[in-house]
A and B are shown apart, each in its own frame.
Chain A
Amino acid sequence: MTASVGALPRIPHTGRVTQARLLLSEWTKLRSVRSTVWSLLVAVVFTIGLSALVPAVRMHHLRPGQHIDNPLELTLAGVQMAQLAVGVLGVLVISAEYSTGMIRATMTAAPRRLPVLWAKAAVYGATVFALMVPSAFIAFFIAHSILQPHGQAVAFGAAGVVRALIGAGLYLTVIGVFGLGLGAIVRNTAGGIALFAGIMFVLPPLMNVLPTSWNNAASPYLPLQAGERILQLQGGTLSPWQGFGILCCYAVAAIAAAAVLLKRRDV
């Protein structure tokens, strides 16, 4: 595989780094590694697959005359799995650059640094949204076809259904960006995943050690509880969009902290 040395052909030095070019580069990065394909496949397969499995099992065990009050929750059960996959991949999108050393090549090509973070968040968020909104709608129609014969389905046109389905895509998008922000802060895959899982899944049950009044006051504002309001048709302290807004605040805070650190720390 020895190449004889020819002179390096010259090319015009006309290109410059732009936000659009960084978006394209980050898209190439995202689609060209296996972890992306696997994580997103898990998110889609679980979202769609559990929308068949969970309602089917529930209908099988339905007692005569019983009426379920949470058909949409059964429908979107897969989002619980999808959020883990999407959050972990969000961490990986940035932490894998640190663990492999790729970040040095990235920051050498785009030494202003921050546009890289914006591009990563935008490309990853858009990818998750584009995949998960259709997945949520497919999940709805599959679940609907299973629930309908038992008279348990909620109509597509019912209040809040479309909002909840688009909301599932929005929720997962923001969860993914939140994971990316955490990954950029700790710059380490294991640490990033632990931090993400800790905030999302360990913190809520931990709130039970607080006095009940404190717990009741604080819990609705945690990222998981607040964010999931947009998937629900009823109940809750916060309105669906209030809850979603609070989740967005967590993601923005994580990305902002990551941006400050990215600018100040050595690569």
Chain B
Amino acid sequence: MIEARNLTKRYGETTAVSDLSFSVQPGIVTGFLGPNGSGKSTTMRLILGLDAPDSGDVTVNGKHYAIYPAPLHEVGALLEARSIHTGRSAYNHLLTLAQTHGIPRRRVNELIELVGLESVAGKRVGQFSLGMGQRLGIAAALLGDPDVVILDEPVNGLDPDGIRWVRDLLKTLAADGRTVFLSSHLMSEMSLTADHLIVIGRGRLIADASVEEFIRRHSKNMVRVRSPHADAIATDVARTGVTVTALGPGLLEIEGLTAEDVGELAAKNRYVLHELMQQRVTLEEAFMDLTQGELEFTSHADLEAAA
């Protein structure tokens, strides 16, 4: 269990994390979502005591990380920027970490096998692909058999096979009763892996809900209409206060009405419809919607498209 209370962290003029409170429960996979630069990595560094918060507090299983006499048994972490000396072999990297806690060498071999790096364990990490580096980082995180697992963007650089492997691994860890906290900027990945979501933007909490609840709360009635009378339909429905977006000639997207609403309106006014489709809001879209105003960097073209 991880508990953050009113965490705030500033770097000079930039506020990376602002008054952030949340808790991460054991036994489930909790996704930590936010656009790049939204403060996810900073929050993880604060949890691990690598950075000190300007105000607020964060504990792991009720205590500050730094006071644990054997922290690798409590928390295993994979941090975003690879935290591995590139001149050292994978085996020796894990060995140096294991030795700090008196963890035996056979555990190192066990982890190398678990993540599938047997054939390259003696190679220098600098020669590793991004995916191999991620696997090594995951092995390091699991070395101490921790009750809490924190992974920053674990699927970055993995091939589809590797992504599925990580997904299964995380679910297995959660099923063991461990606390699993992973960050990503990819909503689609989260919808497949996470049970619970904590969403942040610009260092602030935007949402803290189960995945189903999140979708339910953020799904909207959205209907796509293709019609030779698109202009007339647009004028009619705009009067009722819903949002209409012209996607192309004769193609509309109407937000706030159901397909039934639009069908009845068309029948009443004798508009011809070539296509009428209820759009299901994906998690990705709900996330984009939610963080639109919170993006640190939005390209000018995006702003114009949104206008």
Contact = CB atoms under 8 A, between A and B. Distances in A.
Contacts of A267: 45, 50-51
Contact of B145 (A11, A29, A103): A11
B85 A97 contact: yes
Interface string B216-245: 000000000000000000000000000000
Contacts of B259: none
A35 B87 contact: yes
B100 A96 contact: no
Interface string B66-96: 1011111101010101111111110011011
A111 interface: yes
A174 to B, nearest CB: 26
Interface residues of A, number: 43
Contacts of A225: none
A11 B107 contact: yes
Contacts of A28: 92, 95-96, 99
Nearest to A10: B145
B102 A108 contact: no
Given A1-B116, A3-B113, A16-B70, A107 B50 contact: yes
Given A100-B85, A107-B50, 11 more contacts: A2-B161, A6-B114, A29-B85, A96-B85, A96-B87, A97-B85, A105-B140, A109-B71, A110-B100, A111-B66, A267-B51
Contacts of B161: 2
Interface stretch (B165-173, B191-199, B270-278): B165-173
Interface string A90-107: 000000110011111101
B87 A7 contact: no
Contacts of B107: 11
B142 A8 contact: yes
B176 interface: yes
Contacts of A10: 145
A242 interface: no
A26 B161 CA distance: 36
A13 interface: yes
Nearest to A24: B99
A165 B7 CA distance: 57
Contact of B101 (A16, A100, A102, A112): A16
B162 A25 contact: no
A101 B73 contact: no
Contacts of B92: 28-29, 32
A33 B87 contact: yes
Nearest to A34: B87
Nearest to B71: A111
Q: Which 8 pairs of residues, A with B, have the shortest CB-CB distance?
A: A3-B116, A15-B101, A15-B102, A111-B66, A104-B83, A266-B51, A32-B92, A25-B99
10 contacts: A7-B172, A9-B110, A10-B145, A15-B70, A28-B96, A33-B85, A100-B86, A104-B83, A105-B97, A111-B71
A97 B82 CA distance: 11
A206 interface: no
Interface size grouping (class) on chain B: 35 or more
A217 interface: no
Contacts of A110: 71, 100
Given A8-B114, A15-B70, A16-B70, A33 B88 contact: yes
Given A13-B70, A32-B92, A109-B101, A104 B79 contact: yes
Given A2-B161, A11-B107, A112-B66, A105 B71 contact: no
A267 B65 CA distance: 14
A94 to B, nearest CB: 12
B117 interface: yes
A21 B113 CA distance: 25
A10 B79 CA distance: 23
Contact of A21 (B93, B102, B140): B102
A22 to B, nearest CB: 6
Contacts of A8: 114, 142, 145, 172-173, 176
A5 interface: yes
A33 B85 CA distance: 9
Contact of A2 (B85, B162, B176): B162
Contact of B99 (A2, A9, A21, A35): A21
Given A5-B169, A8-B114, A108-B48, A13 B73 contact: yes
A6 B102 CA distance: 24
Contacts of B49: 107, 111
B150 to A, nearest CB: 10
A25 B100 contact: yes
Interface string B34-55: 0000000000010011111000
A55 B68 CA distance: 58
Contacts of B77: 108
A101 B83 contact: yes
B115 interface: yes
Contacts of B65: 111
Interface string A73-100: 0000000000000000000000011001
Contacts of A9: 110, 145
Contacts of A2: 116, 161-162, 165
